[in-house]
Amino acid sequence: MDNKLNLTYITLNGYVEVEKYRYVYFLIIFTIYAAVIFSNSTIIRLIVFHQSLHEPMYIFIAVLLINSTFFCTTIYPKFLLDVLSEKQIISHTMCHFQYFVLYTSGASEFLVLAAMAYDRYVSICKPLQYSVIMKKTTISVFLVLAWLVPACQVAGTTVRALTVTTTSLSATRKVCNFTLQGIFCNKSVYKLHCVSSRVLAIYGVNVLLNIVFFPMLYIVFTYTKILIISYQSCREVRKKATQTCLPHLLVLFNYSFFCTCEVIILRLESDISQTVRLIMTLQVVLYHPLFNPIIYGLKMKYISKHLKRLFC
């Protein structure tokens, strides 16, 4: 029989009277969710329907926004349902599914950002070879890998029928604790197990290196190379590098900060105050999904132009 995990919602309990403000919270959260869906889908629609935006850079932007939408859709509907419920519960299986989707979409974002860094490097440092290197086939391979690699690492696959992935191992372990501190299922789900697994810990570090650390290292190296070459080139090249790379760097820094907050919440869960934990958790689910469409809508010249035409 499927276990039930009692989710303690730190955004509600201990701060306000839940019964009194329940529908107010529902309205606020629903409005934010609608704003996330509207802002992301608007830019995705512009990129899809305007032929002038069918370039690798804009395709990667659309994929990032799709990831953000997918991330929010995994959290917000359940969150809204729990706000209206007397008890916030989630099945063990559903908790692991949410964990899988969240970390797959999150890791995919790092790989897409790495692909965008490569695209900017070729565009600025090898402009004459850009059309030859960044073909539709290359873009398709990047996108397939960006989605497939995290899914295989996080979810469940085997290598020569021997490797069992993180979610498969965790989902089959005996559960002794039935309380999660948070508003969604993240790696704190491991704390529910009766006995901690060394295999899970080692495999988790391996996954972290493959889908976060190495892509991040490549991104830093690539943008450093772009910065050096742009500094040595003419003013026009420096201007192009600033205009096209700055939005990506802002998104990268913001997302890195978001991931750092997630790690801090997991590692220092019992050592930080409820207020700090509340603020950091809200940053994860509210701030980040709205940041990408705002940055790309304001900072990317052609997207901004099409947005002005759409609304004016």
User: According to the model, what pLDDT value does residue 178 have?
Assistant: 63
User: According to the model, what pLDDT value does residue 162 have?
Assistant: 27
Strands 4-8 vs 179-181: parallel, antiparallel or unpaired: parallel
pTM given for the model:
0.81
User: According to the model, what pLDDT value does residue 271 have?
Assistant: 59
Rounded distance between C-alpha atoms, residue 241 and residue 225, angstroms? 11
User: According to the model, what pLDDT value does residue 43 have?
Assistant: 92
Structural domain of residue 194, as residue ranges?
Answer: 4-311
Q: What is the pLDDT along the chain (312 residues), one digit of tens a residue?
A: 344 444 443 333 433 445 667 788 888 889 989 999 999 999 999 999 888 888 898 999 999 999 888 888 888 888 888 788 777 777 777 777 888 888 888 889 889 999 999 999 998 888 888 888 998 899 999 999 998 888 887 764 323 222 333 444 444 555 565 666 667 777 766 666 665 666 666 777 777 788 888 888 899 899 888 888 888 877 777 787 777 788 888 888 888 887 777 777 666 665 566 666 666 766 777 777 888 888 888 778 888 888 888 877
Q: What is the DSSP letter of 175?
A: B
User: According to the model, what pLDDT value does residue 144 have?
Assistant: 92
Q: How many domains does the chain have?
A: 1
* Proportion of the chain in helix, strand, coil states, percent, rounded to 5: 75, 5, 20
CB proximity list for 66: less than 8 A, separation 6 or greater:
40, 44
CB proximity list for 230: less than 8 A, separation 6 or greater:
124, 237, 238, 241, 242
**CATH code of 90's domain:** 1.20.1070.10
User: According to the model, what pLDDT value does residue 301 have?
Assistant: 80
